[in-house]
Amino acid sequence: MAVLSHERRRAHETLRRRDREMIPRTLLRAMAGLVLLVLAIVTWARLTERPLTAMPDMRAEVLRDRMIVIHGSMSGAARVTDMSGAVIADLGETEGGFVAGMWRVLVRERNKHGVSPGAPVRLMAFDGGRLALADPFTGWRAELTGFGRDNAAVFARLLD
């Protein structure tokens, strides 16, 4: 019985030593240093009010635009109409997922500002193929090309 207990203690000590060595202290210190460096850079940028340099040029020329109304559902289906109520696109659950997802984000943003979810939103195409969806009532904006070519193509077809 004493031998079994001694073997268990030795196995336990081996496991503890192995676990200590799995993440070296040098790596942990380097990770903590990186986090602190990033925090310092972000703090400096916020305190000095540095402009956001990775944002697209808001003064870029709009090549085409259209005011649309998006009616989405939680199932992924979406219907897009123009200002007169004419249907531009009626997308089923399999093809309207991205449009319905943008609708959910838009509704959430509008609820925060007390704006009707059925209000129109501006779809814009810029030089170079960049697409954006902008809500004139809340100031919310989404660069659609950042969500991938296929998702942006769904909105590009709404401009035609």
pLDDT digits (tens, 9 = 90+) for 116-139: 888 899 999 888 788 899 898 998
Whole-model pTM: value is 0.63
- Mapped onto helix, strand or coil, the DSSP state of residue 6 is helix
| Cβ atoms 75, 103 nearer than 8 A | no
Over its C-alpha atoms, the chain yields an Rg (Å, rounded) of 26
pLDDT digits (tens, 9 = 90+) for 69-111: 998 888 888 889 888 888 888 888 888 888 889 999 999 999 9
Residue 61 gets which letter from DSSP? P
Please tell me the distance from the alpha carbon of residue 138 to that of residue 48, in angstroms, as a whole number: 27
Residue 50 gets which letter from DSSP? -
Residue 118 gets which letter from DSSP? T
